[in-house]
Each structure stands twice: as C-alpha cells, then as structure tokens.
Amino acid sequence: MMQLYTFFRSSTSFRLRIALAWKGLPYESQYVSLPKMEQRAADYLALNPQGLVPSLVDDAGHVFTQSMAMIEYLDERYPTPSLMPGGIEYKWYVRAASQIIGCEIHPLNNVRVLKYLKNACGLDDQKINGEWYAHWIAEGLTGFEQFLAAQGQSGRFCLGNQFTMADVCLVPQIQNAKRFKCDLTAYPRTMAIYENCAVLDAVKAADPAGQADAI
C-alpha cells in the first residue's frame, strides 16, 4: 500500500489527500509534524531531501514529491476518474489555473515564509497576517478570478463540470484564506467553485479537521 507523508494543515498535503480520495486509492498516512520540525529529521530528509511534505512512496519504494507533479503522475498511473482533461488546450488551461495558485499564491504565504518574516525580519502578527498574507491573497485571487472570466471555461468547477487538478489546488488555498480571515467577497466566481468542491466526498474526506494528526 502507498505511504503518504503528510501534515494535516499543509496545503500541498491536502491536495494529495483530495487526489487520492477522488481516485479511491488506498494509502497509509505517515504523519510529519511541521511545528515539531519533523520534516528536518535525518530519516525524513533521507526520504525527501527538500524536507517538505507531502511525499508519496509506492509499493516498490519509489518516492514522489512536489504535489502538482504527483497529481499528474497519479492521473497517468490511475487514469479513472481523471483529474486532467483531454486535449492539449484544456490541459494547458488546467495547468495554468493550478500554477496561479501553486506557483504564485501559495509560495508567498506558506509557513516557511511566514516564519522567516517573523523570526528574521521581526514583523509582528499584524504585519504578517493582516498585511502580508492578505495582500498576496488579494493580488493572487484577483488574478485568478480574472483568468477564469477571461478564459470563459469555468462552470460548476474551474473547467466546466469536470473536477480537475485546478480545483484540487483551489480548495486548500481558499481554506487557508478563510482561516486567516481574508475578505473573499471580491471573487464570486472563484468562491462559487470552491463551494461546489467543498461538498464533494473526496474533499470532505481530505479535510484537515478530519485528519488523525489534527491539533
């Protein structure tokens, strides 16, 4: 059985849990506490030298990292139900939407950056959460909302009625924004998609609050 090294509040771990649940793939969770810095332990670094979660280990002992690459791997290895559409233009669209979140929004607001701002730059919680976090969420989601509108491909989900990797990436990002009390009223299209995703069984099963390591 596959082993998923995960932390309940990690956005990227959340993505993998959604993808695995969507595909009905069984796995065993191996919990890596980020607050306790277990991702920097020697045995975990031997598995994933970046010291990041998630990591996925298959039955043959192959280690997979980087959540969006892992999702595409899973989609090719286990194609049904899919998380990537057919057709190169639709694939571009889903990858582009995913990367707006995974490459432009999430990296600026992940825990490593927030800790650095506090410990190395001396910023207080108001500067970090009330200004830094909120600023980059607003800038990123404004761009995401405009991308969806300009492309004209969204519907129930980011790509019409097909649940894809773009939705998998969107859900954790919106949950984080809500946890940091960001104002999300300016993104009606994005939030409607999020609400449609939130009721799916796969998303509910992967929710951070329901994980055994939730603290």
Write out pLDDT tens, residues 58-73: 999 999 999 999 999 9
- Residue percentage of the chain with pLDDT more than 90: 89
The reply to whether CATH 3.40.50.300 applies to domain 88-202 is no
Overall average pLDDT of the 75-87 stretch = 98
Write out pLDDT tens, residues 82-94: 999 999 999 999 9
For residue 90 the two structure tokens come to: 């639709």
Overall average pLDDT of the 9-37 stretch = 97
Confidence bin at 123 (pLDDT 50/70/90): confident
pLDDT value of residue 110: 84
pLDDT value of residue 143: 98
Please state, in angstroms and rounded to a whole number, the distance separating the CA atoms of residues 150 and 154. Answer: 10
- Top pLDDT among 67 and 112 is at 67
pLDDT value of residue 136: 95
- What's the order of all strands across the beta sheet hosting 55-57? 27-31, 2-6, 55-57, 63-64
Going by C-beta distance under 8 Å and a sequence separation of 6 or more, which residues neighbour residue 61?
Answer: none
- What are the start and end residues of each CATH 1.20.1050.10 domain in the chain? 88-202
Residue 152 DSSP label: T
- What are the start and end residues of each CATH 3.40.30.10 domain in the chain? 2-82
pLDDT value of residue 164: 98
Please state, in angstroms and rounded to a whole number, the distance separating the CA atoms of residues 195 and 215. Answer: 25
Overall average pLDDT of the 152-159 stretch = 98
CATH number of 2-82, picked from 3.40.50.2300, 3.40.30.10, 1.10.10.10, 3.30.1490.190: 3.40.30.10
Determine which helix (DSSP H) or strand (DSSP E) holds 132, and give its type and residue range: none
